[in-house]
Amino acid sequence: MRGQLRRLSRVGQRGYSRRWVHTGHTAEPPANAAMVGSGIGRMSNMVVESGKGCWVWTENGEKYLDFATGIGVVSLGHCHPKVTAAVHEQVDKIWHAQVNITHHKPMMELVENLKGAMPSGSGLDTFLFVTSGSEAVECAVKLARHATKKPNVIVIQGGYHGRTLLTMSMTTSKTIYRGGYGPHAAGIHVCPYPFYQKSTHIDDPVAWTEEQLELVITQQTTAEETGCLVIEPVLGEGGYVPHPPGFHEMIRKFCDKHNILWVADEVQSGFGRTGKMFAVEHWSAHPDVLIFAKGIATGMPLAGIASRKELMATQPGGSQGGTYAGNAVACAAANAVLKTIGEDNVLNNVNARGQQIRDGLSALHKEGKFHIIDVRGPGLMIALEFDTKTAEKGIAAKVSKACLSRGLIVLPTGIYETLRLIPALIITEEEVDIALKIIREALVDVTQS
């Protein structure tokens, strides 16, 4: 049976055929799946057994091209040989050297490597490590409160910052992340965001947002009470929305004017995802704190913040940390990721393959028959948005499911009908061609059947 399924589900490097059917969208859940908490959402019932590069295999032998990468985590693909070797080497030395007890060599190497990877001229030279993106966001807010002695936080409408009590209180991309969990953390104030590709009545979205920020300061929280403004350089769960030109320079000016720290949440956009090491490098302004996670260790649990030494020095010893913070094996993986990005010219590939995807999606847009309204996003952080005025509700999820039935994993995002394409940074030209062909056939099935 397993061999039969493998033949039925074959997606080869040479192309794709309709007769190869994948069952990931229709498979029955594992018998013990009911023992996993129902609060976990899941797009399929398939059980993944292995992965290599941009591909994963299920326990039934089905092969899928992965354009989700664990929601942007597996930055160098599954089981990258250089990272795998680094992990294996470290496992034979020490797994857990608790950060509140001792230093360990992989972390000491990582702080040096990260210092060299920070945006030029940013002054970000001191680092703190934790395990998850949500933890890192909390660490950034705690740092801002210590450094400024001011408690309140401003966030931007549509942002996603995590699922802990504090970070879900800061999250406004979807109500599912915070609905039913109140009361929420205090001191969080939300600034409206223009979603400028939709807000045709707004002539200058940067000036409009600056006005809204000033209103927040005069109507919701005073500058004397506001410690930081936290914003994603590219909205992630909010729809893969890059900010308009001049936006970050405006944020820097606003924060300097009111003595507020600017915190850039690069959990999803960092480590090459947008074609630069960090998304803020697409602009000339630098944040005071940079949050990182996801792609830093291509699947190993590691996250953290970068800031200036004088800000980090405001925190007393013991005020930050965590049991698994800066795990030695995860740090070894991160060192291998940073080395590989540099040695293998990964950023060049990100920009080339990103342009290839955008060109392919734009060609579908120009056909004028798939309800596509926008193709956007830098590097390999790309969105395909459908026109909600003409397309049926739920079209993004239906196209995602149709892609899955053809062997391509791709996720929807945001409250608008949007697909996000986040393949591994090592994706090849041939693999992109396979994905684009599958997307087109999925669009035909969903919109013209």
Q: Tell me, what CATH number does 311's domain have?
A: 3.40.640.10
Per-residue pLDDT, 14:
39
Same domain for 303 and 407, yes or no, is no
Per-residue pLDDT, 18:
42
Coil, strand or helix at 176: helix
- Is 361 domain-assigned? yes
Per-residue pLDDT, 200:
62
Per-residue pLDDT, 197:
62
Per-residue pLDDT, 38:
77
Same domain for 168 and 238, yes or no, is yes
Domain boundary, last residue among 343, 378, 395: 343
- Is 269 domain-assigned? yes
- Is 432 domain-assigned? yes
Per-residue pLDDT, 19:
43
Residue 179 CB contacts under 8 Å (≥ 6 apart), including other chains: none
Same domain for 139 and 218, yes or no, is yes
Domain boundary, last residue among 343, 366, 396: 343
Same domain for 113 and 210, yes or no, is yes
Convert the pLDDT of each residue in 69-122 to its tens digit. Answer: 999 999 999 999 999 999 999 999 999 999 999 999 999 999 999 999 999 999
Per-residue pLDDT, 259:
97
Per-residue pLDDT, 34:
77
- Is 148 domain-assigned? yes
Q: Residue 246 is part of which domain span?
A: 83-343
Same domain for 58 and 95, yes or no, is no
Per-residue pLDDT, 199:
59
Main-chain phi, psi angles of 234, to 5 degrees = -130, 120
Same domain for 283 and 389, yes or no, is no
Residues of the chain short of pLDDT 50, as ranges, are: 1-19
- Is 257 domain-assigned? yes
- Is 329 domain-assigned? yes
Same domain for 221 and 310, yes or no, is yes
Same domain for 278 and 388, yes or no, is no
Q: What is the pTM of this model?
A: 0.92
- Is 76 domain-assigned? no
Per-residue pLDDT, 196:
62
Largest CA distance in the chain: 68
Instruction: Tell me the CA distances in angstroms from 148 to 145, 151, 223, 310, 408, one per residue in order.
Output: 5, 8, 11, 12, 47
Same domain for 194 and 314, yes or no, is yes
- Is 228 domain-assigned? yes
Same domain for 338 and 356, yes or no, is no
Q: How far apart are CA 226 and CA 187, in angstroms?
A: 9
Residue-wise DSSP of 318-363:
TSS--TTTT-HHHHHHHHHHHHHHHHTTHHHHHHHHHHHHHHHHHH
- Within 10 angstroms of residue 40's Cβ, the number of other Cβ atoms is 7
Residue 360 CB contacts under 8 Å (≥ 6 apart), including other chains: 432, 436, 439
Q: Which structure tokens are listed for 170?
A: 């800061």
Domain boundary, last residue among 327, 343, 359: 343
**Total structural domains within the chain:** 2
Domain CATH code at residue 419? 3.90.1150.10
Same domain for 328 and 390, yes or no, is no
Same domain for 162 and 279, yes or no, is yes
Q: How far apart are CA 51 and CA 29, in angstroms?
A: 20
